[in-house]
Amino acid sequence: MKIALIQINPVIGDFAANCGKIVSSVDRAYAAGCGLAILPELVVSGYPPLDLLERRSFLQDHDGALAKLLEELPPIPVMFGAIERRNEKPGKPLYNSVLVASGSKIVHRTRKQMLPAYDVFDENRYFEPGAPGELFQMEGLTCALTVCEDIWNYAIGDYRTEPLAALFAKAAAQNRHIDVIINVSASPFQRGKRWVRADIFRALVSQYRTPFIYVNQVGGQDSLLFDGGSLAYNGKGEITAQALCFEEDMVFLDSDSWKGDMRPNEPAGEVVSVHDALVMGVRDYVRKSGFKKVVLGLSGGIDSALTAVLAVRALGAQNVLGVALPSPYSSADSLEDARDLAGRCGCRFEVLPISALFESYRSSLSDLFAGMAEDVTEQNIQARIRGNLLMALSNKLGHLLLTTGNKSEMAVGYCTLYGDMSGGLAVISDVPKQLVYELARYINRDEEIIPHRILVKPPTAELRPDQRDQDDLPPYELLDEILELYLEQGVGKDEIISRGFDNAIVEDIIRRIRINEYKRKQAPMGLKVTSKAFGFGRRLPNVQNYRG
């Protein structure tokens, strides 16, 4: 039998568009001679729908779309994720299900048992765990059907049940042989996750000596980036079919040989994957939010340069406006570098000097500030002038404003509320500073797109004479290493210090992280590429005094 692995990019709540994609893709699979089509988790609604699941109208519209979808699908079995109602009490009112439709009817259902409630996941807020699944028989194949997290016991050791093991035990009790394991997923991307997934997939294939199919959602959804990468293994643990990453795709697989289409899908490293994820994330967030164009400040520094290149690659140069906003402390080099970058990218470039506005602010405040030395207040005024001008352009022109701060700065509060934090999408807010440079070097691998001087100049906000980031922060190499331990690995202060880091530096970094939580709560949404991003996957109180 020929099987289609179909990864599509849904929009949450756009039932007509999502179902239209499902039908058109399954039509193509049917025309290609497929006897089975498999699509991702919750593909009818898009994943994750979050508190839309608490709206009766959303559920009613989902049910109506599902009924219409069943009538429009071609006459082959189709596996796809959908919401199911649950009327029993007690418990949650919904199931996260994978349905098998054939002949306008649902002929099999599997309900997700492992409902993740860590990091960005909160599925047990809405869904009830499903009962142990049943084997599905189709065209001579016995299938063990699972939903995303139901196979993650190989990576997460605190689950009490193993849905896949239960299915194999059931098969043994019935004297049946399972021919294929199928996992229908909406598994978000993060740096290094493909290796974790590969370990899980190899472990389950090795344990059960059974072919395995994985079909994943693709596309950006708010801060989450879904990488697709749907694939199949044969019973020997060899990858025999593979779809593209970060793009909609369909690949075919033959169940007689368990061989299929192999896309060129092995990135040259983590940096390539992060680059592709960010480009996809910008494109999807801007377009799914109803915008066509973006605006951003171009300082002549590395962060705004990287953000501009990503935006141009996501949206096209004609849809990106870069604006330089030089202050009295901006160097001529910075303006030249910003102009050079825009020229190399091909995007529109404008200059809005802020010196006169800055002087007006200082004049207005001079009586109240009399006798006080200039300090960070005046630096923040400049950042807020820039933020106001960029927001004015965003409002008047209908462009989405992109912010350009990186994760290292966000972590320690090296950013200004209502200034450089103003905007609608924080493109690189989950990208540590060292990774910013790695991405820039990757972009320049074949030609110099980001000017060389931007790559080698010392980072500076240019908000006071001769300012350098390293006047206020530890070297970024050191800062990023400590942030990785503290934020992503959850290592405490004392253990970090015991690893040889300077006590005063560690104390200061952790203090800055703690006291700047309020800023991050007011920051624009960012695109998640690490294991622990700022945003709804990291839930800490603003007011707390734990220093460990």
Q: Annotated catalytic sites, by residue?
A: 41, 112, 148
* CA separation for the pair 233, 250 (Å, rounded): 16
Task: Find the length of the chain.
Answer: 548
> Can you tell me whether residue 315 is helix, strand or coil?
helix
Nearest CA among 457, 179, 441, 517 for reference residue 337: 457
Looking only at the bridges linking them, the beta strands covering 239-242 and 294-297 are: unpaired
Residue 182 tokens read as 């199928």
* CA separation for the pair 26, 36 (Å, rounded): 9
* CA separation for the pair 392, 410 (Å, rounded): 24
Query: Residue 505, exposed/middle/buried by CB under 10 A (0-12, 13-18, 19+)?
Result: middle
Residue 141 tokens read as 């194949």
Residue 494 tokens read as 């004392």
Ramachandran assignment for 207, one of left (phi > 0), alpha (psi -120 to 50 degrees), beta (any other):
alpha
- Spacing of C-alpha 518 from chain mean position: 23
Nearest CA among 6, 138, 27 for reference residue 72: 27
Nearest CA among 227, 243, 237 for reference residue 4: 243
Name the packing angle between helices 302-315 and 332-345 (round to 10°).
Answer: 20
């604006």: which residue's tokens? 323
**Segment (H or E) for 391:** helix 376-397
List b or e across 264-295, with b for residues whose CB sees 16 or more CB atoms inside 10 angstroms.
ebebeebbebbbbbbbbbbbbbbebeebebbb
Residue 14 tokens read as 């756009």
């970058």: which residue's tokens? 341
CB atoms within 10 A of CB 398: 12
CA–CA distance from 19 to each of 41, 67, 280 (Å)? 13, 11, 22
Residue 387 tokens read as 């933020």
The residues, ordered by sequence, that sit 6+ positions from 169 with a Cβ below 8 Å of its Cβ are none
Q: Bridge-partner residues for 232, per DSSP? A: 213, 241
